[in-house]
Amino acid sequence: MSATTETFATGMPVEIGKIERELKKLWEQGGEKMTRASLINLAVYSEAPDSLRANTRIIAQITEDHASRAIVIAADPSAKEDRVEAWISAHCHVSRAGRKQICSEQISFALAGSLAKLLPNIVFSHLDSDLPFYLWWQGEFHDPMDAQLWTWVDRLIYDSQPWCDFDAQMRLVQTAQEEANQRVVLCDLNWTRLVQIRLAIAQFFDAPAALEHLGSVQRVEITHTTGHRSTAVLLAGWLAAQLGWALVEGADETTLSFSDCAGEAIRVTLQETEGEPISRCSLHCGTTEFRVLHPRGADLLEVGTELDGTERTHQLMPASRNDPVSLMSEELMRGGPHRVYLRAVEAVRELL
């Protein structure tokens, strides 16, 4: 992380047609002290009130580790009056070497009324050429989605956690993905939330002797906080997809039933407690329990095994943080095609 961050939060209003020219001026003013850096085009779309300010704050932090051309869009399709406004700004921080200010540029748009539909037309003409384009879509997708978007997007980032109807939303996303010939990588921040817990669970079974336990999981307990049942179900979906479990009918709000390849039953219980999105995940294999705990507010996971109720190993591992900046930074760092995510979704889709 850099030593200091300077953010021109409000930005400078610019005419839509003069954005590139004004950006050039901005860099000329900075002189040799500022170095423009950009590895990706990162567009953020939101229809939430006051999202421009909130997302500018988020982008200022994300760009410390992920140099980007950021395009922040605040849309209000329901506004009666048509309106388009644009601003430019820069987020600068001192490089690790401590000599130069490394800056990412941000172009912000407010689109109101029918002009919100011009999103691809107005906004995506300002992409930095040749760089990959990540679109972070905040909130629910529209039905139908604008097919024009998908010809541009490389990675579509969304958070399925607050979705009311996962299946309907996922269908929209997958249709869009098909329209783009499967080129778009789907990045669900609800899946990103699980990265550190998945790593902690996975490492239990690295040793050949421990690997055998994966074939004898009988019971899984997952504790989640209010509103994060979908995160817990996704975690169960990951285990099911990777371990070859099939969903058995008869699931209720707190119990999911699976059967493994040998037809043995596996019961997954979900418990709701205030705390971290997933505060506990325990795998019971015979008399051995593999347990990951995320105490409330902690940035470390407590990871341990118990045999017949006696603790055998205990370790601290990094925990995911559940704020947008951390989740996005984690997601941008990992990359990859996310095939495992799609398998996990398919394993429990009807429960999400």
Partner 1 sequence: MEQSAGEVRNPLRDGILTRSVPEACTVVIFGATGDLTHRKLIPALYNLAADGELPPELAVIGIARRPKTDDEFRNELQEAVQKFSRQTVRDELWNSFAKAISYQKSEFHDADGYQRLGERLQQIEEERETGGNRLFYLAVAPDQFPPILQHLAAANLNKPREGAWARVIVEKPFGTDLASARELNRIVSEAFPEESTYRIDHFLGKETAQNILVLRFANAIFEPLWNTRYIDHVQITAAETLGLEGRAGYYEGAGALRDMVQNHLLQLLCLVSMEPPTDLRADSIRDEKVKIVRSLRRLTAEAVATDVVRAQYSDGAIAGKPVVAYRAEENVKRDSKTETFVALRLQIDDWRWADVPIYMRVGKRLPKSGTEISVHFQKAPSVLFNKESDALDQNVLVIRIQPDEGISLRMQAKVPGTSFRIESVKMDFHYGTSFGKASPEAYERLLLDAMSGDATLFARRDEVEQAWDFIDRIESAWREPEAPQLYEYPAGTWGPEAADELLARDGRAWRRL
Residues that bind partner 1 (CB under 8 A): 1-2, 35, 37, 39, 64-67, 93, 95-97, 100, 102, 195-196, 198-203, 205-209, 211, 214, 239, 242-243, 300-301, 303-304, 312-318, 333, 336, 338-341
Specify the residue, 21 or 314, whose C-beta has the smaller distance to partner 1: 314
Q: Which residues does 253 contact at the CB level (< 8 Å), separation at least 6? A: 229, 270
In the complex with partner 1, the residue whose CB is nearer, 19 or 157, is: 157
Indicate the burial class of 135 (C-beta count within 10 angstroms; 0-12, 13-18, 19 or more).
Answer: buried
Nearer Cβ to partner 1 (125/315): 315
Nearer to partner 1 by Cβ, of 175 and 216: the residue is 216
Kindly tell me which of 180 and 195 has the beta carbon lying closer to partner 1.
Answer: 195
Closest C-alpha among 195, 246, 240, 175 to residue 214:
240
Could you tell me the smallest distance in angstroms from the CB atom of residue 211 to partner 1?
Answer: 6
> In angstroms, what is the minimal distance from the CB of 97 to partner 1?
5
Cα Rg, the chain, nearest whole Å: 23
Phi/psi of residue 42, nearest 5 degrees: -120, 110
Q: Which residue has the tokens 């209720």?
A: 252
- Dig out the tokens for 55 from the structure: 């997302």
Residues 6 or more apart whose Cβ sits within 8 Å of residue 303: 200, 203, 204, 291, 292, 293, 313, 314, 315, 316, 317
Place of tokens 């003409």: 125
Cis peptide before 144 (omega within 30 of 0): yes
Of residues 18 and 312, the one with the C-beta less far from partner 1: 312
Check: CB of residue 217 under 8 Å from CB of residue 179: no
Place of tokens 């783009």: 180
Q: Minimum CB separation from partner 1 for residue 66, in Å?
A: 7
Q: How far is the CB of 187 from partner 1 (least distance, A)?
A: 12
CA distances from 315 to 290, 299, 343 (A): 12, 13, 29
Please state whether beta strands 68-76 and 83-94 pair in parallel, antiparallel, or not at all (unpaired).
unpaired
Give 92-96 contacts, CB < 8 A, sequence gap 24+.
92/5, 92/6, 92/7, 92/34, 93/2, 93/3, 93/4, 93/5, 93/6, 93/63, 93/64, 94/2, 94/3, 94/4, 95/2, 95/35, 96/2
Q: How far is the CB of 294 from partner 1 (least distance, A)?
A: 13
Cβ closest to partner 1, residue 76 vs residue 331: 331
Name which of 144 and 297 has its Cβ closer to partner 1.
Answer: 297
- Least CB distance to partner 1 at residue 159 (A): 19
Residue 37 beta carbon to partner 1: minimum distance, rounded to whole angstroms: 5
